[in-house]
A and B are shown apart, each in its own frame.
Chain A
Amino acid sequence: MMGPSAYLILSGILFAIGAIGVVARKNALIILMSVELMLNGVNVAFVAVGSYMGDPTGGIFAFMVMTVAAAEAAVGLSILIAIYRLKETIDITELSVLKW
């Protein structure tokens, strides 16, 4: 029988790798994928803690996070398609219209 700390540490590693991707990459598609990785890392923590506490609430939270992730991917990718039509690029450093 393992303790929950291993799952929490794994969840932290997945979240941190996703955070590196969001900050360091320039390809907007890969940034969106890294956001999915971060949400997925959080799900690992929810499921592990929920199952160790014997409470289905953790699973419900993970379920809601998955719904939000799917909605976010759909809207984010359609924004990306609209940007690509206008600017012919997915490089976030070139998309600086709103930058002061």
Chain B
Amino acid sequence: MEPILFTLFGAIAVGGALLVVTRKNPMSAALSLIMSLFAVAALFVLRQAHFLAAIQVIVYAGAVVVLFIFVIMLINVPENRLPIEKPTVYRLLGVVAAGLLMIEGGLASRNFSAPATAVGEVGSVEAVGHALFTDYLFAFEVTSVLLLAAVVGATVLAKKKI
């Protein structure tokens, strides 16, 4: 069952990602981004990471993309004033760089094999919460400082006069 679902949701994720990169209208790109993020959440469920799948939907699709859509509507660039996307040398360079990244990644993960031990419930709320509040407590607390800095920074940047 897993290969079928992996192929399905993997194809949706890649298709959504391609639409994000190719759409001219930022609103279509944002909605394609939601599609891709939801498919990745489904892949997390396939890997038994239920907590992260829920967080993916709530934080990414529910907060980050809504923020994007909010900004798209707020600045509301008219269709004829969107940047003109002509094929440039940068597009070619982008594809070449992406190809090189893929080859490098393929070479690096070629010999990767997981141990054959039985996989426990490593992605459940209980397992993640236990790891988060024991081994990674400091990182978790530092995260709150990061979020505070982001809130202060966003508020200052959004002022009328910087």
**Chain A interface residues (CB < 8 Å from chain B):** 1-27, 29-30, 32-34, 36-37, 40, 43-44, 47-60, 62-64, 66-75, 77-82, 84, 89-93
* Chain A residues within 8 Å of B67, by CB: 73-74, 77
Distance between Cα atoms of A13 and B15 in the complex (Å): 11
A-B contact count (CB 8 A): 250
- The answer to whether A16 touches B83, judged by C-beta atoms less than 8 angstroms apart, is no
- The answer to whether A51 touches B122, judged by C-beta atoms less than 8 angstroms apart, is yes
**Is B79 positioned at the interface, with any CB of A under 8 Å from its CB?**
no
- The answer to whether A82 touches B162, judged by C-beta atoms less than 8 angstroms apart, is yes
- The answer to whether A23 touches B150, judged by C-beta atoms less than 8 angstroms apart, is no
**Is B8 positioned at the interface, with any CB of A under 8 Å from its CB?**
no
| Closest-CB distance, B22 to chain A (whole angstroms) | 9
4 closest Cβ contacts across the A-B interface?
A: A23-B94, A71-B150, A52-B114, A91-B83
* Chain B residues within 8 Å of A13, by CB: 14, 17, 102
- The contact sample of 18 A-B pairs, CB cut-off 8 A, is A7-B43, A12-B109, A16-B98, A23-B90, A30-B21, A30-B23, A33-B29, A37-B33, A40-B36, A51-B122, A55-B122, A59-B49, A59-B51, A59-B127, A60-B136, A67-B147, A72-B150, A75-B153
Distance between Cα atoms of A49 and B109 in the complex (Å): 11
Partner of B2, one of A2, A91, A92: A2
- The answer to whether A73 touches B146, judged by C-beta atoms less than 8 angstroms apart, is no
| Closest-CB distance, B91 to chain A (whole angstroms) | 4
Distance between Cα atoms of A93 and B93 in the complex (Å): 16
Residue of chain A at shortest CB distance from B114? A52
Interface string of B15-50 (1 = CB under 8 A from A): 001101101001001100100110010011001110
Partner of B26, one of A29, A43, A58, A64: A29
